[in-house]
Amino acid sequence: MFSDIHSPTIQLGKRSFTVFPYWIGLLILGILFGLVGAVTVLRDGLHVTGLSNAIPWGLWISIDLSAIAMGGCAFVFGVVVYILRIKRFEVIGKLAVLLGFLGYSTAGMVLLFDLGQPLRFWHPIVFWQPHSLLWEVTMCVVLYLSVLIAELLPIVLEHPVFNSHPWLTRFRWLGNLMKFAHKVAHWFHSAGPILAVAGLTLSLLHQASLGATYSVLAGRGVWFNQSAPVQFVFSAMSGGIALLFLSSVFVFRVMRPGLVTDEALKDIARIAGGITLLLTYLRIWDWAVTNYYSFDREIALQTEILNTIAPYSLSFWLGQALLPVIAGSIMLAAKRVNFRVLMTASFFLVFAAALTRWNYNFTGLIASITYDPFTPGVILNSYTPTWVEFSVGTLVISYWLLMFSLAARYLPFQSMKEHH
């Protein structure tokens, strides 16, 4: 039997209202607004955006990389559940798979608009460029999204509508189709350890390659650091597991109380806290090597110019160093902290992961080094997202929230079978 699902309500005077239908309606409005921008950019091209040759990566890529980072919990808990076989995380592992699928599918939607030639999305799969880091990232993302679909299918098919709906007996072809789908899902579930290893491999490869894309760009100054691949991996683990904790508290304490123990939820917080503190240690050493010990004049000029137009240094020290240390320490001491404080701390970890992607994208583009080898200097570029970019951003974020809301309300996170 599935556990009772409690929908959040709001008390207004003597009347209480269920939030769910109004929330879904708001997200549908966000999707409709986003479709207007989507049609505009597909019809008119990228010139309706604020992007240019000097600033080719903007708001969309920041959303894309943040979405991929937020899916970082999937490969971690795939290993925890299927390889380490820690059974108290089995239900949480299903939620991690859902978050991973939503993150990577959201990233795919963003790239569909950002590439400028959406009808050529299949080219990397056919026309291989094995010396390109971005090609390797593309192939890993495509393959890992396939792995996530294979892991998510058995979870979706456990819903009663796919097992006992009257149409399954009324329409024989539909019943046969569901039987075949259940066989495929059972095979995927049996191959869980293999899928977990494949997911871990593909995730580590493309998360590290995203950081390596920046670390090889010596001409970008502040982007150039050799620890970027490791930082991107740990940043995805930190932000992704923190988001998993937030989602788990909402799904398993608010909507489905009793399905997961509080001790298991706090163990997730401790994992996120430990990884965050390790990441912050690496990040501060990277800053010291890049900015303090290198004596690189161009990097100093870039940082100085960035600080004149935006609080770049403040965002680093506050959003990527101080707050992660405080929040990570709180998460690591989760056994002695209540859930409200832990949820606040986990929010800052999610924010720090997104801020890392944002800073990596814009620092080397807004203040970039000229390519004159004799008299290198720093030039200041400008970028302002247009309403089309905000519209498409609203579309993909609304999609993520809508799919998560529907899954939290209707998806079975516990097995109907005794021995699963």
**How do 378-380 and 9-12 pair as beta strands?**
unpaired
Question: Residues near 328 by Cβ (< 8 Å), separated by ≥ 6?
Answer: 238, 272, 273, 274, 276, 277, 280, 345, 349
What DSSP state is assigned to residue 272? Answer: H
Count, in order, helices (H) and strands (E) of the chain: 16, 4
Task: Give the pLDDT score at 416.
Answer: 55
CA neighbor of 324 nearest in space, from 227, 239, 220:
239
The better pLDDT of the pair 9, 131 is held by: 131
CA neighbours within 13 Å on the CB side: how many for 214?
29
Model's pTM, two decimal places?
Answer: 0.91
Is residue 408 within 8 A of residue 91, CB to CB? The reply is: no
Task: Give the pLDDT score at 95.
Answer: 94
**Average of per-residue pLDDT across 91-117:** 91
Task: Give the pLDDT score at 272.
Answer: 95
Per-residue pLDDT at 419 exceeds 50: no
Measure CA 151 to chain center: 17
Give CA–CA dist 38/56, Å, rounded.
18
Give CA–CA dist 41/49, Å, rounded.
8
**Average of per-residue pLDDT across 245-254:** 92
Q: Which residue has the tokens 């207004």?
A: 12
Handedness of CA 34, 35, 39, 45 (dihedral sign): positive
Of the ranges 2-6, 71-75, 224-228, the best mean pLDDT one: 71-75
Task: Give the pLDDT score at 420.
Answer: 44
pLDDT cut 70: percent of the chain above it: 94
Give CA–CA dist 352/333, Å, rounded.
19
What tens digit of pLDDT does each residue of 169-221 get? 888 888 889 888 889 888 988 888 899 999 999 999 988 888 888 777 766 67
Task: Give the pLDDT score at 380.
Answer: 84
3-state SS string for 159-195: CHHHCCCCHHHHCHHHHHHHHHHHHHHHHHHHCHHHH
Give CA–CA dist 390/47, Å, rounded.
15
**If you average pLDDT over every residue of the chain, what do you get?**
87
Give CA–CA dist 36/293, Å, rounded.
49
Give the DSSP letter string of 305-364: HHHHHS-HHHIIIIIIIIHHHHHHHHHHTGGGS-HHHHHHHHHHHHHHHHHHHHHHHHHH
Give CA–CA dist 5/287, Å, rounded.
47
Task: Give the pLDDT score at 296.
Answer: 65
Domains annotated for the chain, with CATH where assigned, are 19-410 (1.20.1630.10)
pLDDT cut 90: percent of the chain above it: 44
Token digits of residue 123: 């080219």
User: Exposed (0-12), middle (13-18) or buried (19+): which is 77, by Cβ within 10 Å?
Assistant: buried
